[in-house]
Amino acid sequence: MSKLVLLRHGQSQWNLENRFTGWVDVNLTAQGEAEAIRGGELIAQEGLVFDKAFSSVLTRANRTAELALKAAGQGDLELVRDWRLNERHYGGLTGLDKAETAAKHGEDQVKVWRRSYDIPPPVLAPGGEYDFAADPRYAGQAIPDTESLKTTLDRVEPYWNSDIAPFLKKGDTVLVAAHGNSLRAIAKLLFGIADDKIVDLEIPTGNPLLIELNDNLKAVSARYLDQGRAQRLPI
């Protein structure tokens, strides 16, 4: 039986400002750094020793992983970064204040964009402030201009199958430090959550989710290491 820890990045500056962040590379707040360190301390208390660690290419997830690993006494472990673990791309909503967006488009429409499984926000116009096409981290990649949770899963799942799952299948203990929606995508695979239920899964920032997996990489148990900030799990 293998063990997987899913760790959502700590609070970011745009979490604090209530803005649609997506692929924008904002950093952690002081609270976010403290959450990451606390997560690492809980990992150490649990006696978990990772064989592999994965993250997105975004600073807030990388920083969370690095702080947590250092606090867990595993700061020398290599962190594998890949854009396919990035947050969902919020398209034309990127950078907007969530409350102001709801006032402009209506709360019902914004709820559809944010919480429906397969309806993406409007596309991101090319050439603007948040056009990521020229970012060297995505050179040669066919990157999206908007995503739903479904299309986020469509890019996460192949990476999961090719790069992460093989280590778990041989019994390794693995850390994935990423984002709310890319971690939702992984959780959907592991727990078999229905399309209309996955959007209700809330993953707290900086709280390690420890999952034990069977040989078929299906979850047999799961719990948050900080029970005081735990959310309901589908198991």
**Where residue 145 falls among pLDDT bands split at 50, 70, 90?**
very high
Contacts of 219 (CB under 8 A, 6+ apart): 190, 191, 211, 212, 213, 235
| 202 a catalytic residue | no
What homologous superfamily is domain 2-146+154-209+224-229 in, according to CATH?
Answer: Phosphoglycerate mutase-like (3.40.50.1240)
Residue-averaged pLDDT of the chain: 95
| 87 a catalytic residue | yes
The predicted pLDDT at position 76 comes to 98
Q: Which of 9, 66, 89, 179 is the catalytic position?
A: 9
- In degrees and rounded to multiples of 5, residue 157 shows phi and psi of -60, -45
Distance CA 35, CA 156 (A): 25
Tokens of 146: 């908007």
Distance CA 192, CA 186 (A): 10
The predicted pLDDT at position 114 comes to 84
Which DSSP symbol is given to 45?
A: H
The domain ranges of the chain are 2-146+154-209+224-229
Q: Which of 35, 66, 87, 147 is the catalytic position?
A: 87
Average pLDDT over residues 160-164: 98
Average pLDDT over residues 82-88: 98
Contact assessment for residue 121 and residue 113, using Cβ atoms and an 8 Å cutoff: yes
Distance CA 159, CA 167 (A): 13
The predicted pLDDT at position 199 comes to 87
